[in-house]
Structures are given as structure tokens and as C-alpha cells.
Amino acid sequence: MAKKLMLSNTSESNNWHMSWKGWVPLKCKIMAWRATINRLPTKTELLKRGVPVPNVVCALCNSDEETTLHLYTGCFYATEIWSGIQDWCRLAPIFALEVSDLIKMVDLITTTKQSRYILRGIIITTMWELWNERNNRIFKGKSRRALEVVENIKTTSYFWIRNRSRFKDIDWNVWCNFPLNLM
């Protein structure tokens, strides 16, 4: 199903194809892919479709209009999370002009197949958790600090990579210390 969806939207993704391989659950990959083609039901998109929304303010920072681009690249709350991921994975500062840059950059900044495989999953897990945090705030009135979300990204991705890849024996401390070089 995912592949079909992808093919029907090639013109909008500038012929760039997101890889469907990897260790994160399919629901996360679909969500991340929808984000790259601006198909997430953000407040701004809902309003465009005539759905009444109480306001269009981003629930993460309460200061800007909630668009997909803002949620993933402009929002200062999201920036705090990306910076946590950057520190954890020892990456150069993450800059993205488009949502798809977040996934595209994985190929540019990794040097081995293994680190690419791991980082791609971490980026998608982060996109998933950001969207979850946004939904929890809007629908459940629950909010967490950026640091807590980063910790949650570590545990969720640890659980997924252990259960869904050949890295079944990764030690938690190794994962937390530096996930891109698992031996």
C-alpha cells in the first residue's frame, strides 16, 4: 500500500523517493513520508480544507502558525529536540529547508551503510515522536519538555532496533552513548 501511495505522488516529491526499508514500524515511515509531501493534518492544512480549527498556533511553541514545515524545521521546540538528537548522534548542526531534507541529509552526513541505516531510523523516530507530542498536547492536554521527548526517542528507537533489525544484542548504554557505531 505504501508503495502505491508513493508512486502516485512522484511529481510532488521532485522524483525523490523515501526508502521504505529500515527498522522503524511502517506507520512511522508513512507518517514521515506524508510529512515530506505536506500531507499531515496540521491546523493550517485543516483550515485550507474547510475544517474549523480553534486557532492555527503551533502547540509546541505557541508562537507561530502550525504548518508541517514549521513543525519540523522552524519551531524552536522542535529545534531543541533536533539539537538533542544531534548531540546524541554526534552530528554537525541539523539544518533543513524542506521537511524531506531531514531524511535526505542522512545519506550526506553518514559514511557507512550501517550508520546510514541506524540514523535514518532515528530521524524517522524523531519525526514520529514530534508529531505524537503535538497530538498529545492538542488532544490530551499533556506536554513534555523537549529533553523528555529526546529521552523517549532513545528508548523507543532502542526497543524498535532491537526487535526489528539484526542488532538484537545492543547494550542500552552503548546505544545511549553513541548509536551510530554499533559493533
**Binding residues for Zn ion (CB under 5 A):** 58, 60-61, 75
User: Between residues 58 and 103, which has the closer beta carbon with respect to Zn ion?
Assistant: 58
Shortest gap between Cβ of 58 and Zn ion (angstroms)?
3
User: Between residues 58 and 106, which has the closer beta carbon with respect to Zn ion?
Assistant: 58
User: Between residues 110 and 126, which has the closer beta carbon with respect to Zn ion?
Assistant: 126
User: Between residues 23 and 131, which has the closer beta carbon with respect to Zn ion?
Assistant: 131
Shortest gap between Cβ of 76 and Zn ion (angstroms)?
7
Of 165, 6, 136, 117, nearest to 59 by C-alpha is 136
Shortest gap between Cβ of 67 and Zn ion (angstroms)?
9
110 C-beta neighbours (distance < 10 Å), count: 18
Q: What is the DSSP secondary-structure string of 23-76?
A: SS-HHHHHHHHHHHTT-S--HHHHHHTT---S--B-TTTSSSB--HHIIIII-H
Nearest-angstrom CA–CA distance, 129 and 140: 15
Shortest gap between Cβ of 66 and Zn ion (angstroms)?
7
Shortest gap between Cβ of 104 and Zn ion (angstroms)?
22
Contact yes or no for 181/113 (Cβ under 8 A): no
User: Between residues 60 and 102, which has the closer beta carbon with respect to Zn ion?
Assistant: 60
Of 167, 173, 131, nearest to 149 by C-alpha is 131
Question: At which residue does the C-alpha cell 508513512 appear?
Answer: 30
